[in-house]
Chains A and B, each alone.
Chain A
Amino acid sequence: MPDLEVATRRRGAVVVVEPRGFINAHTVHRFEEVLNRLAADGDARIVISGRSLSYVASAGFGAIMGILEEVRASGGDIRISDLNATVAHIFEVLGFDRLCQTFPTEAEAVESFSTAEAGGKSGDP
């Protein structure tokens, strides 16, 4: 597996971002490029799938932190799915579980945007 590839796919109005490999200070620029491009293009409903992630260092969480406000200001949100045990634990100890909603599966994370819209909820967790 290469150090990091970042795949994206559309599921309705939601863009799923799937980093494959690991995110650290060496690879984070590829992840940031994708997130920045989505934000610049107005794609504000983003699911980050951790299905193919082996680990994430603080640089990866910093990349999410850096655009979260911009995405929410556009009426969207960043939601997370499919984290492995190590990444989920780091997510939790950093306090990101209070910042971003997490879901067991990509489908549930994508569906949550429709649910929130139908219920008139904001994107905040």
Chain B
Amino acid sequence: MSGAGPSGASLRLEIPATCESLELVHEATVRVATTAGFASDAAGEIAVAVGEAMTNVVVHAYRREEGHDIVVRYAADASGLRIELEHSGEYPDRLPAGIDLAKLVAERRRGGLGVHLMRRLMDRVAHEEVAPGVGCWILERRRREPKDADRKGPDPSP
């Protein structure tokens, strides 16, 4: 997916990397996605996925330390919507594989769902080192026609 073209749109937010900022990012994402032509249900799903990436940055990259910022960039074009969340905290060598929900429940775990949820809601989820010491979550959601059918399907895993 390319960046915003002549008929596309882009937006950049630089905000404190805190859990308090999550709702602001959620609202901004819903607004950007609906403006870009996604149906409201799909826009809500995209916003949840972006919130998961931001939560990962706040909790894991910055370990809930105050004083850090995160840059969120949106780029919409004819093919869909791309969101980047750039940070300078710690980042994983590789993203976790799938989850075993029954195992997580048996172990009474309360986490471990975020990356899986992002993958299920978006067409592409990646984390890349874009410069030395700078990590970036990249989330993409393609358009589907008709617009109301642009929702991803259920988890096919057992």
Contacts and interface: CB of A to CB of B under 8 A. Distances in A.
A90 B47 CA distance: 12
A99 B99 CA distance: 14
* Contact residues of A: prevailing secondary structure: helix
A64 to B, nearest CB: 9
Contacts of A97: 154
A93 B121 contact: yes
Interface stretch (A7-15, A18-26, A43-51): A18-26
B20 interface: yes
A86 interface: yes
Contacts of A99: 101-102, 105
Which of A58, A69, A95 counts the most chain B CB atoms within 10 A?
A58
Contacts of B106: 69
A24 B112 CA distance: 14
A57 B55 contact: yes
Which of A22, A89, A98 counts the most chain B CB atoms within 10 A?
A89
A85 B148 CA distance: 12
A102 to B, nearest CB: 13
Contacts of A94: 101, 113, 116-117, 120, 155
Size band of the interface chain B makes with A: 35 or more
B23 A61 contact: no
Interface residues of A, number: 32
Interface string B78-120: 0000000000000000000000011011101111111011001
A63 B58 CA distance: 18
Interface in B23-78: 23, 26, 41, 44-45, 47-48, 51-52, 55, 58-59
Given A69-B106, A86-B41, A55 B47 contact: yes
A26 B24 CA distance: 12
A104 interface: no
Contacts of B154: 92-93, 97
Contacts of A92: 154-155
Interface in A54-112: 55-59, 61-63, 65-70, 85-86, 89-90, 92-99
Interface of B: 19-20, 22-23, 26, 41, 44-45, 47-48, 51-52, 55, 58-59, 101-102, 104-106, 108-114, 116-117, 120-121, 151-155, 157
